[in-house]
Structure 1
Amino acid sequence: MSESHELDLLDLPVSAGRAGRGPATWGQQAIWDAVSVLGEDAPRYNVSVGFPLDPAYPRAAVLAALARAAGHHEALRTRMVPGADGELTQVLDASGHFPVVIRRCAAEESATVGDALLAELASQAFDCAEQWPLRIGLVEADGLVRHYAMVLSHTAADGGGLRRLARDVVMLLAAGTGNAGLPPATQPLDLAAYQVSERGRRRDEAARRHWRSRLGDGPRALFAPRVPRDPQALFPNACLRSPALLRSVDHVAAARGVSGSSVLLAAATQQIGRLSGAPDVLLQVVVNNRFLPGMAQTVTTLAQEGLFHLRSVEQDFGALVGRVHAGALGTYRHASYDKRLLDRDIEELRGELPDLADHSCFFNDTREPALFRPPAPAGSPVPLSRAREQTTLTWPVEFPPRHNLTFAMDVYDAPGAVELLMTADSSLMPRADMEAFLRGIEDTVVTDALATGCR
């Protein structure tokens, strides 16, 4: 066995003060319902992150930090047990263990070995009723841990929860044996208790009213079929990697007095109008919900979709981005709800209306720059007017078809760039339209950045 393949397998024990059981949160149940029907494709919905540790740490220090993080964040010690009709009970264990895989290699190989280990751990499904929803991979070189990999079941955390957990592990490592504590965080059992309370039910009812209103008022069709649809046809996936967008989004957000997410949402909205010809636009926007009271530091599944409806998409981007920002804030307030009850409402609405508004387009800005942004490669950035020369567009993979999906676009921070990833039904959005959509977003935002003084 070569050195790069040497490994250790261990179970890291964790003991904490609280155990309990209760109903699932809205987020836990919604993710379970979505993932449980995917079969062999379920591991694709695991959430994962890997990164180098600089400085490197002894194995014992990393394991101690992990144990403290798992003691603090109860989602990591929570099993999801399905009952009748798939209704979940969350079971919090006071003690137990989670698996750690440790690979050893030469120092210069640690990043490559770490990436491979992350992919291996992420490709495996979780048994959420029997196992804790966390796997860890460590890469050691010269007796120190130099790369860290972490995979969670999506029932335990969304992207925002994953970033907070990674931040907390790094904070604990930096603190060593000091007394630095982690930020207070609402735990899943407490969140579920709020959601079944009178206040929680009122929030749920208000959110579902918002959805019903927009499904009744929104456009009936956005994209007309371009070719006959093959139910078995795979959906292509495009990735636009743009260094120019990284600078432009931040600049336009500051210049226009809006959020970076609103800048990209406005550009996406404008491209939908241009490609579809529809006067109105309706989008499901993924909202991380961590602006809700007590949720800023929480590691659990909080993100849900809000329904964003914009009437009359004007061509002037400066005017459009202000309207989008204002409308998005209303959408965000109504993105926390009981998904099973919403699905029931939608089915009832179908019986009352000849058709519902087209809600098959999805927008998800996963970035939280204040919390995490990968460092840019070394070197001086080129002027913005030339930065688009560095843009790349690739078609990395194809996915199984998804019901009620025209397209889904995700926004990611990448080292020195913003990445736009898009999956679409090519009978409604052929590859040429997908490319025009992504490049149109880039062109719109960069053009506005140049016009408002970004250089």
Structure 2
Amino acid sequence: MFAQTVQAHVPVAFAGPGAGVAPLTWGQKAIMQDMRETGWTHNVSGAHPVPPGVTVEQVAAEFAALMARHPALRMRLGEGDGGPCQVVSATGETVLDVVDVPDDADPADVATFAYDLGHARLLSHYDLYHDWSVKMAVIRHRGVLVHRVLTIDHLVVDGTATSLLLADLGLAGRPVRRVADPRTVQILDLGRREETPSLRRVSDRAVRHWAEHLRDIPPLTFGEPAAGGRRGHRYWHGRFSSPAAYLAVRAIAARTRTDTSRVLLAVIAVAIGRATGVSPLTAKLIVGNRFRPGFAEAIAPLSQNGVLRVDTADTTVDEVVARARRAAVSAGKYAYYDPAQLAEVSDRLDTERGYPARISCRINDRRVTTRQAADVGLHDDPVTAERIRRRADETFLVWDGPLDHLPEQVFITVEDQPETVYLQVIFDFGCFTEEQAERLLRGVEEVAVEAALDPAAPTRVVPGSAGG
């Protein structure tokens, strides 16, 4: 963007407790599997404004304190007897990158530059055998720090852990007051615990639950891919946003006495059924696993795939909400397991079934701040048809570009955006036509609005059809 920038590297020394060596955690194994299947970095990265008056020395001191406080941030990979392991260092040195942009640059362009740097680092591969898991940069304009770019490798954090670290740095958007939980598990202890008999039994139960769902699935959720694509590419990512669906989902949640996550799951499942004729829908649901003792504030990747099945045919949307709620509870209960053990069982079931099969639909509600806001005051804010109608014109769907590869046929993520149902989506256009993909996404709004205004609204899903 700028013809010239000047970059300096400020050394940041750190020291902290919790050093040692341990096996990889189940969450780390799951992330490494995702990295292999997708080729994506899965980094967490973003730019944040710097308050006036903050100096480079202050940011460096905050960086050092953050590294000292959290052993996970001092973790790198090593080689153990069975492959990669965790190695947490007691001391070390990293750098704070200080990037000076031209004085005559427009502040809006500087903000764009900071965003672009965060995005570039999002896509940059780490070598965690040598690199530290956290990278930090500050952008200086006219002698003043204006933006900070923070990037963290997904092998040490998930969405909740990232939010906790942002709160530590005062970047959470609002003050966060927390009382430290003495039970909070550190990343090395987690890896060791997961080798104990008690947690091996937890994995055994979870894998048995998975096996029940995997035993009779088709080769792929949405059928074999055909020749084709969109503008010469099979995999595309896009965005869908619907404030009208947000209001409708809140209305359904209030009526059915559940939360917006369960309603969104049900609405998405019905929209998939209408567009593709797939019912029941067997899908992977990303589960945070934070409800377990000592996990709520752990700095570690604890999210793993759960599995669920929801029948959407010949019933009402309200009934699907009830089914989705029950299925999601079970998925969450059995989403903590050793991925290597699940892979062994999956291979065995492929042999018994006579063909390889996998679930190729994944849904991820990764809202953190806006999920709570959506669920608060459901009964105090009645939704009317007029309110929904006024927001309907704000709906949009855009395709942002192609991807090289995707292990799923469809991946739907509910993003942390206020007062809208905001979906990041990836489709395999070898399995979906453009019309089907658009019908599915616009169907999320259609299903939600119909059900918000009519408790007896039917799903109108016809199994085996191509949608209508």
Q: Establish whether residue 398 from structure 1 lines up as the match of residue 397 from structure 2.
A: no
1:168–1:182 CA contact under 8 A, matched in 2:
no
Provide the C-alpha distance between the structure 2 equivalents of 1:145 and 1:372, rounded to a whole number of angstroms. 32
Q: How does 1:255-334 map to 2 (within 5 A)?
A: 255-334=255-334
Distance 1:312 1:122 in 2: 37
Seen in structure 2, the aligned counterparts of structure 1 residues 195 and 143 have a Cα distance that, compared at 3 Å, is same
Matched, 1:437 2:447: no
Alignment correspondent of 1:68: 65
2:246–2:420 Cα contact (<8 Å) kept: yes
CA distance in 2, matches of 1:422, 1:174: 29
Percent identity between the aligned chains? 26
What 5-or-longer segments of structure 2 have no aligned partner? Answer: 375-385, 456-468
Which is further off, 234-243 or 359-368?
Answer: 234-243
The match for 2:203 is 204
User: Could you tell me which residue of structure 1 aligns to residue 380 of structure 2?
Assistant: none
Which letter does structure 1 place at the counterpart of 2:203?
D
Give the CA deviation at 1:447: 3.8
SS in 2 for 1:157: coil
Local SS of the residue matching 1:249: helix
Aligned partner of 1:395: which letter? W
Q: Is the 8 A contact 1:29 1:88 kept in 2?
A: no
Q: For residues 94 and 371 of structure 1, what CA distance do their matches in structure 2 show?
A: 37
Matched, 1:385 2:389: yes
Q: 1:413 to 1:172 in 2, by over 3 A?
A: closer
- Alignment partners' CA distance in 2, 1:3 and 1:233: 33
Displacement of 1:359 in angstroms is 1.2
- Matching of residue 48 in structure 1 with residue 45 in structure 2: yes
Alpha-carbon distance, 1:419 to partner: 2.0
Amino acid at match of 1:132: W
- Does the residue aligned with 1:414 lie in a helix, a strand or coil? coil
CA contact (8 A) 1:204 1:337 kept: yes
Structure-2 change in CA distance of 1:5 and 1:220 (3 Å) = closer
Q: Secondary structure at the match of 2:169?
A: helix
Unaligned runs of 5+ in 1: 375-381
- Give the match's secondary structure for 2:67: helix
CA–CA distance in structure 2, aligned partners of residues 74 and 133 of structure 1? 11
User: Is residue 413 from structure 1 mapped to residue 410 from structure 2 by the alignment?
Assistant: no
Contact kept, 8 Å, 2:234 with 2:430, in 1: the verdict is no
* C-alpha deviation, 1:193, in angstroms: 1.8
C-alpha change, 1:329 and 1:354, in structure 2 (3 Å) is same
Number of residue-to-residue matches in the alignment: 436
1:122-271, aligned counterparts within 5 Å? Answer: 122-141=122-141, 143-170=143-170, 185-218=184-217, 222-225=221-224, 227-228=226-227, 233-271=233-271
Which TM-score applies when normalising by structure 1? 0.86
Secondary structure (helix, strand or coil) at the match of 1:237 reads strand
Q: Is the 8 A contact 2:370 2:418 kept in 1?
A: no
Q: In structure 2, what is the Cα distance between the partners aligned to 1:239 and 1:68? A: 37
Moved more, 386-395 or 55-64: 55-64
Quote the offset at 1:198 in angstroms. Answer: 1.4
Query: Whole-Å Cα distance in 1 between the matches of residues 199 and 352 of structure 2?
Result: 27
Given the superposition, is the C-alpha separation of residues 3 and 164 from structure 1 closer, same or farther in structure 2, using an over 3 Å criterion?
farther
The one-character-per-residue Cα deviations of 1:160-213 (angstroms, maximum 9, x if unpaired) are: 2222211221179999xxx99866542111111221111110110011000001
Cα offsets for 1:386-445 (capped at 9, x unmatched): 212112211101112334x22111111235533212212212112211111111112222
Q: In the superposition, relative to structure 1, how do residues 142 and 90 fare at CA in structure 2: closer, same or farther (>3 Å)?
A: same
CA RMSD in angstroms comes to 3.1
| Post-superposition offset of 1:326 | 1.5
Equivalent position amino acid for 2:421 in 1? V
Q: Distance in 2 between matches of 1:52 and 1:63?
A: 16
Alpha carbons of 1:146 and 1:11: their partners in 2 closer, same or farther (altered >3 Å)? Answer: same
Contact 2:240 2:441 in 1 (8 A): yes
With over 3 angstroms needed to count, the CA separation of the structure-2 counterparts of 1:337 and 1:411, relative to structure 1, is same
2-structure distance, mates of 1:56, 1:389: 42
Q: Is the 8 A contact 2:312 2:320 kept in 1?
A: no
Contact 1:62 1:173 in 2 (8 A): no
Between 1:259-268 and 1:218-227, the stretch displaced more is 218-227
CA distance in 1: counterparts of 2:370 and 2:393, whole angstroms: 27
Contact 1:227-1:427 at 8 Å conserved across structures: yes
Q: Verify the 8 A CA contact 1:61 1:173 in the aligned structure 2.
A: no
Cross-structure match for 2:19: 19
Q: CA 1:370–1:20 in structure 2 vs 1: closer, same or farther (change >3 Å)?
A: farther
SS of residue matched to 2:86: strand
Counterpart for residue 377 of structure 1: none
Shift of 1:214: 1.0
Find the counterpart in structure 2 of residue 29 from structure 1: 29
**1:368 CA drift (Å):** 1.1
Matched position secondary structure for 1:296: coil
**Closer/same/farther in 2, CA of residues 2 and 394 from structure 1, 3 Å limit:** closer
Moved more, 311-320 or 165-174: 165-174
Q: Distance in 2 between matches of 1:247 and 1:53?
A: 34
Decide whether the 8 Å contact of 1:163 with 1:371 is kept in 2: no
What is the letter of the counterpart of residue 58 of structure 1? Answer: T
Q: Partners of 2:312 and 2:418 in 1: how far apart?
A: 36
User: TM-score normalized by structure 2?
Assistant: 0.84
Task: Return the offset for 1:235.
Answer: 0.6
Instruction: Verify: 1:93 aligned to 2:82, yes or no.
Output: no
Sort the Cα spacing of 1:63 and 1:309 in 2 relative to 1 into closer, same or farther, 3 A.
same
Number of the residue aligned with 2:351: 351
* Amino acid in the other structure paired with 2:438: E
* SS in structure 1 of the partner of residue 309 of structure 2: strand
Distance 1:125 1:257, change over 3 A: same
